């Protein structure tokens, strides 16, 4: 059975596909909402080039006939459309529930325009109820996790981050790194936390996407609403 959240994700993805124009180079996000966008985009049959944010999205896009280029080949992108785990004030985001945050951020930062798509349950007054994904290199990751714990304390966050596992094994990102999830609860100062995490050598990146989304297409029971910063 299709849930209302799935229908809303689909509506947001289909609305975003209408933003794409022929000739564009388009960043394709990762996750169930982004997959609806990719399907709707493929159905339009436009002459575009896609840049994927994960192997899963690359596979989906190619299976649907979207011509793909690497980020290196693309250089600057016209538009990127991607999902999010939380949409907070000023279109601050938590991303990385699908472990693709690093490639996502690389593609977002190379894009002239970034549009986040989501069902309305993702919109929150304060970031942090969704555990913050933090991508770390495998070498010395327990040491890095201790430094993450210190950084969280410095940001007045009481949280023990957990190594993400599936079927009893650590989840590996497309880049071969690990993910720690930090159940922050409330992130009062996302910028301070972002800076603190980025200053840790073993941290590759984190799921705080601040000042990156230009707009959001959020689907609810009454249709798709456009939010701007
Ligand atoms: C993947 C992501 C996804 O965009 C995020 O997890 C939302 O996923 P979904 O659309 O399936 O709810 O950041 O790393």
Average pLDDT of span 6-29: 98
Q: Is the pLDDT of residue 12 over 80?
A: yes
The preferred substitution site among 27, 35, 39, 95 for testing ligand 1, maximizing ligand atoms within 8 Å of CB, is 95
Helix and strand totals (H; E) in the chain: 7, 15
Answer yes or no: are the C-beta atoms of 33 and 53 closer than 8 Å: no
Report d(CA 6, CA 130) in Å as an integer.
19
Ligand 1: atom nearest CA of 101 is 14
Report d(CA 135, CA 100) in Å as an integer.
9
Average pLDDT of span 81-104: 98
Residues touching ligand 1 (Cβ under 6 Å) are 9, 29-34, 82-85, 95-101, 104
Contacts for 124 with CB less than 8 Å, ≥ 6 apart: 86, 87, 88
Q: Which CATH class for the 4-123+210-221 domain?
A: alpha beta
Helix (H/G/I), strand (E/B), else coil: 215: strand
pLDDT digits (tens, 9 = 90+) for 158-189: 999 999 999 999 999 999 999 999 999 999 99
Average pLDDT of span 216-222: 97
Q: Is the pLDDT of residue 203 over 80?
A: yes
Report d(CA 51, CA 229) in Å as an integer.
25
Q: Is the pLDDT of residue 46 over 80?
A: yes
CA-based nearest residue to 6, from 27, 46, 43, 35: 35
Q: At what angle do helices 141-154 and 190-198 cross, to 10 degrees?
A: 150
Count of CB atoms situated within 10 Å of the CB of 149: 17
Long-range CB pairs of 40-45, under 8 A, 24+ apart, other chains included: 40/13, 40/14, 40/16, 41/17, 41/66, 42/66, 43/17, 44/17, 44/20
Report d(CA 82, CA 97) in Å as an integer.
12
Residue 7 CA: distances (Å) to CA of 52, 93, 123: 23, 22, 16
pLDDT at 136: 98
Q: Is the pLDDT of residue 200 over 80?
A: yes
Q: Is the pLDDT of residue 2 over 80?
A: no
Report d(CA 10, CA 91) in Å as an integer.
20
Answer yes or no: are the C-beta atoms of 113 and 26 closer than 8 Å: no
Answer yes or no: are the C-beta atoms of 88 and 34 closer than 8 Å: no
Mean pLDDT, all residues of the chain: 97
Q: Which CATH class for the 132-205 domain?
A: alpha beta
Q: Is the pLDDT of residue 1 over 70?
A: no
Report CA(133)–ligand 1 centroid distance (Å): 11
The preferred substitution site among 84, 107, 213 for testing ligand 1, maximizing ligand atoms within 8 Å of CB, is 84
Q: Is the pLDDT of residue 3 over 90?
A: no
Q: In the annotation, is 86 catalytic?
A: no
Average pLDDT of span 10-27: 98
Catalytic-labelled residue, pool 14, 58, 86, 104: 104
Q: Where exactly are the structural domains of the chain?
A: 4-123+210-221, 132-205
pLDDT digits (tens, 9 = 90+) for 101-110: 999 999 999 9
């Amino acid at each position: 059975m299709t849930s209302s959240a799935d229908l809303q994700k689909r509506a947001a993805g289909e609305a975003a596909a209408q933003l794409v124009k022929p000739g564009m180079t388009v960043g394709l996000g990762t996750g169930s909402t982004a997959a609806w966008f990719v399907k709707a985009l493929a159905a339009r049959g436009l002459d575009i080039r896609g840049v994927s944010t994960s192997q899963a999205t690359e596979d989906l896009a190619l299976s649907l006939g979207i011509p793909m280029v690497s980020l290196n080949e693309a250089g600057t992108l016209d538009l990127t459309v991607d999902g999010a785990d939380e949409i907070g004030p000023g279109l601050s985001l938590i991303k990385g529930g699908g472990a693709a945050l690093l490639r996502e951020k690389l593609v977002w930062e190379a894009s002239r325009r970034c549009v986040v798509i989501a069902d309305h349950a993702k919109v929150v007054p304060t970031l942090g109820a969704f555990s913050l994904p933090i991508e770390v290199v495998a070498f010395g990751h327990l040491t890095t996790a201790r430094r993450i714990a210190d950084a969280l304390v410095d940001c007045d966050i009481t949280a023990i981050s957990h190594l993400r596992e599936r079927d009893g094994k650590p989840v590996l990102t497309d880049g071969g790194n690990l993910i720690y999830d930090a159940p922050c609860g409330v992130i009062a100062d996302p910028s301070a936390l972002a800076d603190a995490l980025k200053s840790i050598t073993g941290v590759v990146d984190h799921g705080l996407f601040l000042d990156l989304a230009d707009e959001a297409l959020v689907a609810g029971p009454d249709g798709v609403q456009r939010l701007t910063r």
